[in-house]
Structures are given as structure tokens and as C-alpha cells.
A and B are shown apart, each in its own frame.
Chain A
Amino acid sequence: MSNWVEVCATDEIDEEDVIRFDHAGRTFAVYRSPDDEFFATDGLCTHEKIHLAEGLVMDDIIECPKHNGRFSYKTGEAKGAPVCVNLKTYPVKIEGGSVFISVA
């Protein structure tokens, strides 16, 4: 069952960037791709629980700011050492100029 939660206005995330979103004791990372699509993943790196929102978005990759572990933020796939466990991803929708993620 979906549980859509409003994150922010679309223009609050720069293109090819990411923001942190905390909700109900959980933390998420919400991305805007270079081609203006939005995505969401768990907010912490699966390697050592670092906030990915402080990392670098390059094309469809988010790079962790601590150890440079890389994930595809579109699929959550871990792209190699030092990250070995995939990120969980969440559905995203845009309505009325705002970004919503489904946190169910």
C-alpha cells in the first residue's frame, strides 16, 4: 500500500543533485537527474551509514561522501567496492509542482 509523502517543491532540488529528507524517524535521499527526472533511495550508504545527500551526483550515480562508494540512484545497484549492498529505492511522483515519495 502506497504512503505518499510530500518532500519539497521540485525547484528546491537542483538538476544533477540530491537532498536529504527525514520522515518518521527514517532518512531518505531524493535526487533530480540531469534529464530532470526525480528518484528516491534510502538516505544512508549501505557501507557505513553516511548520509548520501552530502555526496556527489554524476549522471545516474550517487557517490558517498565518505568512502566514494557508488550506487545507481535509479536502481539502487551498488557499483563496486567499498559498497557491496544495494540501496533500497522508492517510487516518486510529481504533483502540483511538488515531489512526493512513497515510503511504504
Chain B
Amino acid sequence: MTRVAAKRDYSLLGRDAQAAVESGLAAAEWYHTDIPRKQMKALMKREDGPAIRDTILWLGSMVVCGALAIYFWGSWWCVPFFFVYGVMYGSASDSRWHECGHGTAFKTRWMNDVVYEIACFMIMRNPVTWRWSHTRHHTDTVIVGRDPEIAVMRPPDLLRLVLNFFGILDVFHATIDMVRNAAGVISAEEKTFIPEQEQPRAIRIARIWLAIYIVTIALAITMGSILPLMLIGLPRLYGAWHHVMTGLLQHGGLADNVIDHRLNSRSVYMNPFSRFVYWNMNYHVEHHMFPMVPCHALPQLHEMIKHDLPAPNKSIIEGYREMIPAFLRQLRNEDYFLKRELPPTAKPYREELHAEPIAAE
């Protein structure tokens, strides 16, 4: 396939977007590990139980920690409770938005929808806009000019990455998008992936959210305290670090413009707390290859297909030890990427499709 020009153009309306369509990279057929239909059906099976349990833990911990943070407000004792509250609000909401957006968290559709709307508000992602952007992310994963969710563009903007550990740029852009949508404006880029009939709902939700933030700010002013904002809004900043820490590992430093998730996605073994917050999205190659498999079944899927995948990183720290040097090299050479080595038991990469990116390592 034709490689895009060396200087990448990430605009969804730009040169590389057009090149991806012309070269067949857009909406291409991606590699999948073979899994017998019966086993696949068992993996895809939906359940309510695991997600109900996790949602009770998630929202329950927020209620408890939020209440204790209010109780201890004014003393240092509130800090650990805001720490937990913030991670649940500003990070666990990311994975809940994601899994419920796929409709795989719960078997019951309305439960997916309710948790999706709550999580979208917390993570400040318009539920309409982001459902469609994530659809595109799965169609054209890390295809330059097509994927609207590329977290680390090349060359990497390291300052932006650091700021986003505290949600700073994301919240700035999310606020602008919310106000713009609330004013009834859908951007040209949004129009490339949100169908026309869905756009009024994006506007309606932005208006509801804006009203909630205005009421919260008014309450804070009335009370003469930032406490209301510490519970609504600001946790998206002070609690964002965990979802950024795990999210960067998904594709950071790996290949772009390939059609094999083994080349552009990373699975990482993580501790139980991070797996709860991240809802097992550490099995990211597996998720992209089979997005129908619910998060609670991803460890089982991983065991089933790991013979065909690059070895996962053994920890978050190990992942960063390979990813950060790759980012630094990409500052000098944006064509550089980490090539994921396959085990001998795996089907090889299709060199005829990826010869140039693989050789570029």
C-alpha cells in the first residue's frame, strides 16, 4: 500500500485523509486471529452481573469518598478521599464511557445507555460525538487523517502529554466544543463522522451539560467555596492522570497506517486496581481485534490468542520504559516506531501490506 508523506497531516479533512482513502487504508480489512465460532460465541456472550458489581463499586466508592471529602473539607484529611473520588470521576469514567459505548458492558441495553451518559458527562465527551468518533477509531485505528482519536501524533507533543495528565488541554478543548455545540454549531470535522440526523442530539446534550456547569459555578460563588467544583468539573482535571497513564500505552510509539492491530496496539499486564479503573482495556490488542468481546472476558480471550500476538508488556512501568524512548526518537525522526515482535507460533505480518512500515523500524 502507498505510504503517506513523511510529514503527517492528522486533519480529518486533509491530505493524508484523502491519501488513506485512495490507498485503501481507510475501511480496510484487518487481520484477525482465527477463533472457532463456538468459542467466539462464548466469549461474546453478554452478562449483567460483572458490570452491575463494578458499577456499584465505582459509583458507591464515589458516594462514600465524596461524602467523606465534604466532611473533612478544610483539613488535609479530605485529600485521600478526593484522590479516590477524582480517579473514579476523571479516569474510571473513561473506561465506562468506552465499554458502554460499545454496548458490551451489560447485557441489558438501557443499563449500557445510562452508564454511558453518566460516564460521558464525567469525562466531558459528548455522547453523540464520541460514539461516532470511536466508531471511526475502530474502523481506521491509527490511520493518519482518518482516526480522530490518535492520542499521540508524530512528532509527539510532549508538553501536551504532560499537561493532559492533569486534563488541562483536554478540558480546555472539551469546554470549547461543549460551548460551540450548545450554540448549535457542529464543526466541519465533526460532520465527517456524525450523521446529520444525530447532530441535533449532540447539541441538546451540550446545552444540558452547560446548564449543569453554570449551576455548579453559581453554587460555588454563592457558597464562596470551590467545594461544588471539587465534586463536579474539577475531578476531570485532578483525577485524569490514571486514564491518561493507561491510555497512552494503547498505541503510543507503535506503527501507524497499518491494518494489523498487532502492529499498532499494545497489551500490558496491570495491577488489579488499574484493571478495575481501566476495565481490562489493558488487553488492547485483543479489544481491537474483537470489539464484541466484553471487558470481563478479555483476560480469557487473551489466554486464547496470545500465541498469535506480541508478548504483552509486563507492567505499566515496563510499557513506559519502551514507549518514552520511542517518543524521544520520534522527535528526531517521526517515521520511527516500535515494531512488535511476534512469537514463533504467530501468523506473520502480511509483508505485502506492511513492508514499508515494518522495514522502517
Interface residues in A65-92 by Cβ distance below 8 A to B read 65-68, 70, 81-82, 84
> A63-B103, A81-B135 provided; 11 other pairs, C-beta below 8 A?
A47-B135, A54-B40, A56-B46, A63-B292, A67-B135, A68-B103, A68-B291, A81-B195, A84-B195, A84-B197, A84-B198
Q: Indicate whether B320 reaches chain A with its CB closer than 8 angstroms.
A: no
Known: A55-B292, A63-B292. A68 touches B132 (CB 8 A): no
Complex-state Cα separation, A49 to B27, whole angstroms: 9
Q: Is the CB of B46 within 8 A of A58?
A: yes
Q: Is the CB of A66 within 8 A of B291?
A: yes
The 8 closest A-B pairs by CB, nearest first: A56-B44, A82-B135, A68-B103, A67-B135, A68-B102, A65-B292, A81-B131, A84-B195
Residues of B within 8 A of A55 (CB): 292
20 CB contacts below 8 A, A to B, read: A17-B37, A49-B27, A54-B40, A55-B292, A56-B45, A56-B46, A58-B107, A63-B103, A63-B292, A65-B290, A65-B291, A66-B291, A67-B139, A70-B103, A81-B128, A81-B131, A82-B132, A82-B135, A84-B197, A84-B198
Q: Indicate whether A48 reaches chain B with its CB closer than 8 angstroms.
A: yes
Interface SS of chain A: loop
Complex-state Cα separation, A23 to B195, whole angstroms: 32
Residue total for B at the interface (Cβ-Cβ under 8 A): 23
Residues of B within 8 A of A68 (CB): 102-104, 291-292
Residues of B within 8 A of A81 (CB): 128, 131-132, 135, 195, 198
Closest residue on chain B to residue A70 by CB atoms: B103
Residues of B within 8 A of A67 (CB): 135, 138-139, 291
Q: Is the CB of A56 within 8 A of B291?
A: no
Interface string of B159-173 (1 = CB under 8 A from A): 000000000000000
Interface string of B41-52 (1 = CB under 8 A from A): 100111000000
Residues of A within 8 A of B132 (CB): 81-82
Q: Which residues of A contact B (CB under 8 A)?
A: 17, 47-49, 54-56, 58, 63, 65-68, 70, 81-82, 84
Residues of A within 8 A of B290 (CB): 65
Complex-state Cα separation, A41 to B41, whole angstroms: 20
Residues of A within 8 A of B135 (CB): 47, 67, 81-82
Residues of A within 8 A of B292 (CB): 55-56, 63, 65, 68
Chain A nearest Cβ from B12, distance in angstroms: 16
Chain A nearest Cβ from B48, distance in angstroms: 12
Known: A82-B132, A84-B195. A66 touches B103 (CB 8 A): no
Residues of B within 8 A of A17 (CB): 37, 41
Complex-state Cα separation, A47 to B139, whole angstroms: 11
Complex-state Cα separation, A54 to B40, whole angstroms: 9
Interface string of B13-29 (1 = CB under 8 A from A): 00000000000000100
Given B40, B104, B131, which contacts A82 in the complex, CB threshold below 8 Å? B131
Complex-state Cα separation, A84 to B292, whole angstroms: 19
Complex-state Cα separation, A55 to B139, whole angstroms: 16
Complex-state Cα separation, A55 to B44, whole angstroms: 9
Chain A nearest Cβ from B248, distance in angstroms: 24
Closest residue on chain A to residue B113 by CB atoms: A80
Q: Is the CB of A66 within 8 A of B131?
A: no
Complex-state Cα separation, A84 to B131, whole angstroms: 13
Closest residue on chain A to residue B197 by CB atoms: A84
Chain A nearest Cβ from B102, distance in angstroms: 5
Interface string of B162-198 (1 = CB under 8 A from A): 0000000000000000000000000000000001011
Complex-state Cα separation, A54 to B290, whole angstroms: 10
Residues of A within 8 A of B128 (CB): 81
Residues of B within 8 A of A70 (CB): 103
Residues of B within 8 A of A47 (CB): 135
Complex-state Cα separation, A76 to B315, whole angstroms: 45
Residues of A within 8 A of B27 (CB): 48-49
Interface residues in B83-115 by Cβ distance below 8 A to A read 102-104, 107
Complex-state Cα separation, A17 to B44, whole angstroms: 12
Complex-state Cα separation, A54 to B128, whole angstroms: 26
Chain A nearest Cβ from B95, distance in angstroms: 16
Which of A17, A58, A68, A70 is most buried by chain B, counting CB atoms within 10 A of its CB? Answer: A68
Interface residues in B34-81 by Cβ distance below 8 A to A read 37, 40-41, 44-46
